[in-house]
Amino acid sequence: MIPVLEAVGIRKSFGGVRALRGVSFEVCAGEVHALVGENGAGKSTLIKIFAGALQPDEGEIRLEGTPIEHLTPAKSKSLGIAVIYQQPALFPDLTVSENIALAHEPPTAFRRIDWRKRNEHAATLLSRVGADMLPQAYVSSLSMPEQQLVEIAKAVDAEARLVIMDEPTASLGDRDAENLFRIVDELRKSGAAVIYISHRFEELFALADRVTVLRDGESMGTFPMAEMTNRDLVRLMVGREMEAVFPERNCTIGEPVLEVRHLSCVSRGVHDVSFVLRRGEVLGLAGLVGSGRTQFAETLFGLSRADGGSIAVGGKAVRIESPQQALALGLAYVPEDRRRHGVIMDFPVSMNTTLASLERVSRGGFLDFTAEQRVAEEYRERFRVKAPSVDTPVRNLSGGNQQKVSLARWLMTEPRVLILDEPTQGIDIGAKHEIYMLIGELAARGIGIILISSELAEVLGMSDRIAVMHAGRLAGVLDRNHADAHMVMELALGHAAVSD
Amino acid sequence: MNRATKRQEFILALLIAVEIALFSTIGKNFFSAANFFECVRLAVEIGLISLAMTPVILTGGIDLSVGSMMGLAAVVFGGLWQVAGFPLAAAAVCALIVGLLGGGINALLIARLKVSPLIVTLGTYSLFRGIAEGITGGARSYSNLPASFLYLGQGYIAGVVPTQMLVLAAAIVFYWLLVHRSVIGRAFYAIGLSPHGARYAAIPVTRRLTLVYLLSGLASSIAALIYVAHIGQAKSDAGTGYELIAITAVVLGGTSIFGGSGTIRGTLLGLAAIVILEDGLHLAALPAELAGISTGVLLVLTIALERLASRQRAAVAENQEFEMKNSQLAILCSTVIVGALIVAGSNWYLVKNLRSGTSGDTTAAKEGQGRLTVAMMPKSKGDPYFISCRAGAEEAAKEFNVNLIWDGPTQVDPAKQNEFVEGWITRHVDAIAVSVGNAASISTVLRKARSQGIKVVTWDADAAPDARDYFINQATPQGIGGTLADEAAKILHGKGEFAIITGALSAANQNLWIQYIKERVASKYPEMKLAILRPCDDDRDKAFSETQTILKVYPKVKVIIGISAPGVPGSAEAVKQSGRQDVKVIGLSLPNLCKPYVHEGVVQAVVLWKTRDLAYLTVKAAAALARGELHSGATSFQAGRLGDVKIEGTDIILGSPFVFTRENIDQFNF
Amino acid sequence: MRKLLQREFAGFITLALFLIYLAFAAPSFYSLGNLRDIALANVSVLLISTGMTLVIVVAEIDISVGSLFAICGVCGGLLARGGLPIWMLPFAGIAIGSALGAANGGLVSFVKAPSIVVTLATMVAWREALNWATGGAWVENLPANFQWFGLGQAAGEAVLFSATAVLFLAILWASHNLPAFRSIYATGSDAEAARLAGINTKLVVFAAFVLVGALTGLASVLNAVRFSDVPANAGIGLELQSIAAVVVGGTPITGGRGRLMGTLIGVALLGIIGPALTYLQLSPYWEKAIQGGIILVTVLFDALASRAEKRPALA
């Protein structure tokens, strides 16, 4: 059987970073082919190449045997490839019906639109994918899961022969996820090929026929799903036993440095979160994407206004209503979205490093440039940031080094509590390790650390305790000695609540 | 970052040096200390606003309301002092508070409520100017300020440095420290590059944005005070158009309109480039419009080249941003060089022609060889009345072998009139003739001209009597007012309602004529009543709509007297379109503009004088003065083809007003 | 439907309140003649604001329309004087306006220069070039059939009204029903997504500027023929008037959503202030302040409302 899509020897580099080093991949009609790998293993790059959004440096792509050159988004769409990204690429100001129509209508500029037909068509599609919104609803009024469903509707509408789904259940609840599985099954039965990327192995075991594992830009092989176990997959993904990566946790844990009681921020979906963080402790915060961890962290840090609950820092009750206040109290937050929030891309390393601690490199409100350079150099060396100089714009650094700069900035503030939100996302393994060691050092120095992470291995390996969030609430807190991936995942899925 | 920025500014400075060099050769007295300081004086108000605009644009915002705030602060200052009797200092402080309040409105909406700066400042642009106009009725201006205050805007320190330069210098230092050396300035750049990123870095974004807009309002009010001191008048139209010049200076200087990059030095250099360009063109006697055109072109070129250059950068290089800027400026530089060479070349060509005796352009730059230069300025170049005068001026210039420079603002603009006169003083022309837009503001600079030996006459509209040697008046104001009243009475048969549509409520000569109309009506036609008086800003369309409304709101009005050349045809058209056969229009206007309406019977009479003759007489008188042929105390003088012309005191009278009617109007073509 | 009206709400309510107040305070305002005069004076503003709405929808701005207006009027007059058949004048206006609009569009779309700076530069350069070329002189001695296209006042006014109404309704219809116009909304909403969906976003942005140029050129000619000569310095302040009308009408400055009906309300609201002041026997010099106040109140109201409802704001 000729595969619907076949890729041979795909190579792609960005700047100096090699994202894909000769990956070969194929998927057949009527197949659900899972694609797994760590963050940064190359999955996103590969599917962007299939979607025509990126051009490979080397390699060949064949669609049902015919080689394709110079794929563009429009071309891939016309060839019957549909992609559903993690972030819905919808027009917020247009209606659902129009979004669906724009996805597949050929652009005939001056033919009158038949809205009735469009709306009917959209309604049919929506019910087929199990969505219950009106076609005339504006996309900006829809929730993330609803938007995701619209994206799926678009793909179904396109009657694509290849549907690529990138973490489709990341923000879906149980019911919606079940719905999605049904759709995937339908697609498979109708003869389409499906590439399915997910971190949730149980989904893959249920849905996929075959699985390909990527690691550091290379394919580790393609296997029938039925013959694989969790452990097999993880070993292929990670390439080593998990525990060895993480530093030993054996430092003393002191008095409470942060006490959070019934913290809520309704507008952001955070409800009644309570816990205590101690000096020198690493508290992992696990949960599925969309479980409210970032929202909670941002509420804690003053980026969102809390509307219930109390916070005490170092034993003293406080109100945190702005990041400035949080900073003054000794909190630091390294955000998840590194490019937009973690660093200022066009500032050099030096200016990024000092941005939250300008008072330390200034006198009477006036900047001391020499001091700034000196401090920036110190931190650059300490964190081993790979950059030509501290004057290099951060935009030119690799993801890992950018993250180091972001960390350096917050560590310069000498915080008591450090909140890390997905600190190793999209970073190569070497840099990850450095960051793990650093976290260990910081804990040893008595800083209380909240580590938000979606990588189970990381959470389990680094934390003293693991808090798990589900749908904006704290589902449970586990001690490291009594926790395993299974328990964490159960809590994250909202199944059983295990108390500390 | 520092190395490349320095290189960028070096190139911009080089560009300015080139401008200076070129204008020095083609413009008279361009390269002199006096001119330099005059340039600075002109630039202070704009400079203050441009400096304040820089951090606004750095943070990714924009402030369109700065010019309007100048108007509001000016009238608040003037009004509190003159009407409410506040001491000057208190009035000034109140003006500054108004500036802060205005900035505060902007800050509230932009920084706290996160509304788009473009829209908010568009609203306040209208609001501030509107409040200023509303308070003063568009017309009332406050002058006769004490010399101690005027010293701020017109005085010199050590005889050579304009006083307001100190204010500008202080502002430069303040802003430079704020933007480039302070912690707050660092925040500006961060916010401009990434407002979200700045927030996550615990920068108090709302507070910083509030600060830039407050400062912007404050700077505008300070600029307003200096402006008032400079031209000696506080009026609601202060600062019109300044916001766009400021934005141009900032963007030309290399600041990105999206925020996040730019320098104070760049803004100053951009400002310098614009000011020098304008001043140089004045002194080279080239049309002022060239300044606007070339600035617009330069702006487009620099932006376009920046964009094109950035697209060619494929690789991520360390100095990416700054290479872009270098090429941008290199081309900016060469464009201006080429442009200036063209200007210089054409000038040289013209001068060559002049020397060889061909008539060519009477506005050539060279003086000397016994030929007098008379600089003549209408109230507005764009008014058909003045356009018709020009022919007469040029006729006289040719006949009496005089270099005529005919220039002025396109729209009535007293501040701009001052600038022109300043330029002419620097050029050291032999005589200046001005049709005065506002007597209070121009008199100071006219006195300065006289003190430097330049002969000064006014024509059509007068300045303060001690500021000029003679006033060439087309007719006595009594004559003009009386004739208009008489013509109106003819139509009304001595009783009924009439309306007056004047040019501008602040025009002194028009107000004088209106006064004499009223006097004549009161004494000779007591049963006639003035129902309403409205201005039309010398705008045809405005006269049209005002008349339309008057016809409806005051249905008993049967005669409309129009005292504005563009206004009369506008009123006539309105009367015609309304179908009201019982209403007639008379006024002061040009025959050509009114001919169709006169023939249709809508306009009964056009009162005027031979505009050509007025200008002819003016040039002749100015030349005679400069040559020493006309002395004070003379009661008449020989004015070429006009014969002997009467002099009353210091007024040279052209004659009596002429009435154009259906019978005679076709004989005239102007 | 209610959601659609929400944004126009502020402008609509203000207009309604103002009109009701006028009915009591100055009932003579509602004479047919006065309403006709006001409508006639705002015909050109409506056309330009319609084009401006689409430019703002595509997330750009054009502040050069005033200068464009002046140039097209003068050119129209010169062409008429030079012998161009009168019925061709509107097309000449459209052609010249489109060409100038294309200059703006080319710089914004293909060179990717920011529209605020480009149109600032063209606004100044074109106005000054016009001043230089005309020397401030009006275009006089026009052929007799220039005014009202030679049709006489009543017929001429009818032509102006119907042309404007037809164009406005046509664009209103097209903006909802023609994919070419819908792509303006798509591009304004999310340019990247539009590109991925196969829309030629560069062409769309370019076309928006050409369109506003064409409409401005037409508006200029239609305004010019109300009189018998053409002044050299028309259209001052027109750009701000039209942008204000669009904003007051409820179109977000961020693009993606356009309220053409709202623009109509905005034009009406801002257009009646001047005459209303005279009817109310108030000083006409408060007009600008009131216009500014309406703009600010509109965006303030919307900003507060969107905060409360947690939806994205107008501006």
Range of the domain at A372: 244-493
For residue A6, what is the DSSP state? E
Distance CA C25, CA C15 (A): 15
Kindly state whether residues B504 and B564 are assigned to the same domain: yes
State yes or no: pLDDT of C198 exceeds 90: no
Domain count, chain A: 2
Task: Find the Cα–Cα–Cα–Cα dihedral B599, B503, B550, C220, rounded to 10°.
Answer: 70
Domain count, chain C: 1
Kindly state whether residues A67 and A10 are assigned to the same domain: yes
Interface residue of C60, C109, C117 to substitute, partner B, most B CBs within 10 Å: C117
State yes or no: pLDDT of C112 exceeds 70: yes
Among A216, A242, A268, the domain boundary falls at A242
C188 touches chain A (CB under 8 A): yes
Kindly state whether residues B411 and B264 are assigned to the same domain: no
Show the beta-strand stretches assigned E in C77-155. Answer: none
With CB atoms and an 8 Å threshold, state whether A346 touches B260.
yes
DSSP bridge partners of A417: A331, A448
Range of the domain at C264: 2-309
Buried b (16+ CB within 10 A) or exposed e, B282-305: bbbbbbbbbbbbbbbbbbbbbbbb
Domain membership flag for residue B663? no
More confident residue, A302 or A18: A302
pLDDT value, residue C184: 94
Domain membership flag for residue B661? no
Task: Find the Cα–Cα–Cα–Cα dihedral B131, B136, B141, B142, rounded to 10°.
Answer: -90
Range of the domain at B378: 372-474+613-653
Contact B105, C274 (CB under 8 A): no
| Distant-in-sequence, close-in-space partners of B346: CB < 8 Å, separation ≥ 6 | none
Q: Which of B572, B596, B573 is nearest to B586 (CA)?
A: B572
Contact B438, B413 (CB under 8 A): no
Please write the tens of the pLDDT for every residue from C236-245: 888 888 999 9
Of A45-59, A294-308, B633-647, C298-312, highest mean pLDDT: A294-308
Cα separations in angstroms, A490 against A456, B61, B185, C191:
12, 49, 50, 41
pLDDT value, residue B591: 86
What is the CATH classification number for the domain harbouring B293?
A: 1.10.3470
| Distant-in-sequence, close-in-space partners of B534: CB < 8 Å, separation ≥ 6 | B499, B500, B501, B502, B546, B550, C284
Q: Which amino acid is located at B141 in the chain?
A: S
pLDDT value, residue B32: 72
With CB atoms and an 8 Å threshold, state whether A102 touches C186.
yes
Nearest CB to B1; choose among A358, A367, A391: A391
Buried b (16+ CB within 10 A) or exposed e, B83-105: eeebeeeebbebbbebbeebbeb
Domain membership flag for residue B266? yes
Q: What ipTM was assigned to the predicted interfaces of this complex?
A: 0.89
Q: Which amino acid is located at C264 in the chain?
A: L
DSSP-assigned letters across all residues of A442-488: HHHTT-EEEEE-S-HHHHHHH-SEEEEEETTEEEEEEEGGG--HHHH
Domain membership flag for residue C93? yes
Nearest CB to C189; choose among A92, A103, A107: A92
Kindly state whether residues A341 and A366 are assigned to the same domain: yes
Average pLDDT, chain B: 83
Kindly state whether residues B597 and B648 are assigned to the same domain: no
What is the CATH classification number for the domain harbouring A334?
A: 3.40.50.300
Helix H or strand E segment including A75: helix A73-78
Please write the tens of the pLDDT for every residue from B192-223: 999 999 999 999 999 999 999 999 999 999 99
pLDDT value, residue A13: 83
Domain membership flag for residue B23? yes
CA angle at A245 for the pair A243 and A251, rounded to the nearest 5°: 80
What is the CATH classification number for the domain harbouring C276?
A: 1.10.3470
A305 touches chain B (CB under 8 A): no
Q: Which of B540, B607, B550, B606 is nearest to B575 (CA)?
A: B550
Which residues of chain A are at the C interface, by a Cβ-Cβ cutoff of 8 Å? 53, 73-74, 77, 89-94, 98, 102-103, 105, 107-113, 115, 138, 140-141, 267
Q: Which residue of C has its CA nearest to B410?
A: C136
Nearest CB to A110; choose among C178, C185, C193: C178
- The interface residues of chain C toward chain B in range 10-49, judged by CB-CB distance below 8 A, are 28, 31, 33-34, 37, 41
Bridge-based pairing of strands A473-479 and A465-470 is: antiparallel
Kindly state whether residues A248 and A159 are assigned to the same domain: no
pLDDT value, residue B353: 44
Neighbouring chains of A at 3+ CB pairs under 8 Å are B, C
Distance CA C259, CA C5 (A): 9
Q: Which of B222, B239, B215 is nearest to B77 (CA)?
A: B222
Average pLDDT over residues B368-383: 81
State yes or no: pLDDT of C310 exceeds 70: no
Kindly state whether residues A211 and A252 are assigned to the same domain: no
The pLDDT-based confidence of B120 (bands split at 50, 70, 90) is very high
Kindly state whether residues A135 and A254 are assigned to the same domain: no
Distance CA C195, CA C163 (A): 35
* Paired tokens of B245: 């010049």
More confident residue, B350 or A417: A417
Distance CA C183, CA C199 (A): 7
DSSP bridge partners of B162: B156
- The interface residues of chain B toward chain C in range 584-603, judged by CB-CB distance below 8 A, are 592-593, 596
Interface residue of C2, C182, C314 to substitute, partner A, most A CBs within 10 Å: C182
Q: Quick count: other Cβ atoms within 10 Å of Cβ A157?
A: 19
DSSP bridge partners of A276: A259
The pLDDT-based confidence of A111 (bands split at 50, 70, 90) is confident
Among A242, A263, A289, the domain boundary falls at A242
Kindly state whether residues B470 and B405 are assigned to the same domain: yes
Distance CA A38, CA A427 (A): 10
More confident residue, C27 or B203: B203
What is the CATH classification number for the domain harbouring B586?
A: 3.40.50.2300
Kindly state whether residues A254 and A221 are assigned to the same domain: no
Kindly state whether residues B381 and B443 are assigned to the same domain: yes
Q: Which of A490, A424, A25, A37 is nearest to A233 (CA)?
A: A37
Please write the tens of the pLDDT for every residue from A84-94: 887 778 898 89
Domain membership flag for residue C315? no
- Using an 8 Å CB-CB cutoff, list chain B residues near A323: 199-202
C263 half-sphere exposure, CB direction, 13 A CA radius: 30
| Distant-in-sequence, close-in-space partners of B64: CB < 8 Å, separation ≥ 6 | B118, B121, B122, B124, B125, B243
Kindly state whether residues B126 and B266 are assigned to the same domain: yes
Domain membership flag for residue A499? no
Kindly state whether residues A44 and A97 are assigned to the same domain: yes
Q: Which residue of B has its CA nearest to C235?
A: B541
* Paired tokens of A399: 């993801």
- The interface residues of chain B toward chain C in range 93-112, judged by CB-CB distance below 8 A, are 105, 109
Nearest CB to A392; choose among B186, B318, B321: B318
More confident residue, B157 or C123: C123
Nearest CB to A323; choose among B190, B194, B202: B202
State yes or no: pLDDT of C101 exceeds 80: yes
Neighbouring chains of B at 3+ CB pairs under 8 Å are A, C
DSSP-assigned letters across all residues of A280-317: T-EEEEEE-TTSSHHHHHHHHTTSS---EEEEEETTEE
Phi, psi of B383 (to 5 degrees): -85, 125
State yes or no: pLDDT of B312 exceeds 90: no
pLDDT value, residue C6: 57
Contact A358, A365 (CB under 8 A): no
Domain membership flag for residue B313? yes
Bridge-based pairing of strands B431-434 and B402-406 is: unpaired
Kindly state whether residues A200 and A301 are assigned to the same domain: no
Phi, psi of B232 (to 5 degrees): 75, 20
Among B553, B574, B608, the domain boundary falls at B608
With CB atoms and an 8 Å threshold, state whether C128 touches B105.
no
Of A406-410, A467-471, B591-595, highest mean pLDDT: A406-410
- The interface residues of chain C toward chain A in range 150-179, judged by CB-CB distance below 8 A, are 176-179
Domain membership flag for residue B357? no
Kindly state whether residues B164 and B43 are assigned to the same domain: yes
Neighbouring chains of C at 3+ CB pairs under 8 Å are A, B
CA angle at B62 for the pair B58 and B67, rounded to the nearest 5°: 125
For residue A135, what is the DSSP state? T
Kindly state whether residues A251 and A236 are assigned to the same domain: no
Q: Which amino acid is located at B155 in the chain?
A: G
Please write the tens of the pLDDT for every residue from B265-287: 889 988 988 888 888 777 777 77
Distance CA A53, CA C280 (A): 62
Domain count, chain B: 3
pLDDT value, residue A239: 59
Please write the tens of the pLDDT for every residue from B74-96: 999 999 998 888 999 999 999 99
Kindly state whether residues B294 and B266 are assigned to the same domain: yes
Domain membership flag for residue A500? no
- The interface residues of chain B toward chain C in range 349-408, judged by CB-CB distance below 8 A, are 380-384, 387
Please write the tens of the pLDDT for every residue from B335-374: 555 555 555 555 445 444 433 333 333 444 344 456 889 9
Domain membership flag for residue B666? no
Kindly state whether residues B236 and B90 are assigned to the same domain: yes
The pLDDT-based confidence of B328 (bands split at 50, 70, 90) is low
Nearest CB to B181; choose among A322, A367, A393: A367
Domain membership flag for residue C314? no
Classified as helix, coil or strand, A223 is strand
Among B344, B361, B384, the domain boundary falls at B344
pLDDT value, residue A44: 81
The pLDDT-based confidence of A325 (bands split at 50, 70, 90) is very high
| Distant-in-sequence, close-in-space partners of A231: CB < 8 Å, separation ≥ 6 | none
Domain membership flag for residue C280? yes
Average pLDDT over residues C58-64: 94
Percent of chain A with pLDDT over 70: 93
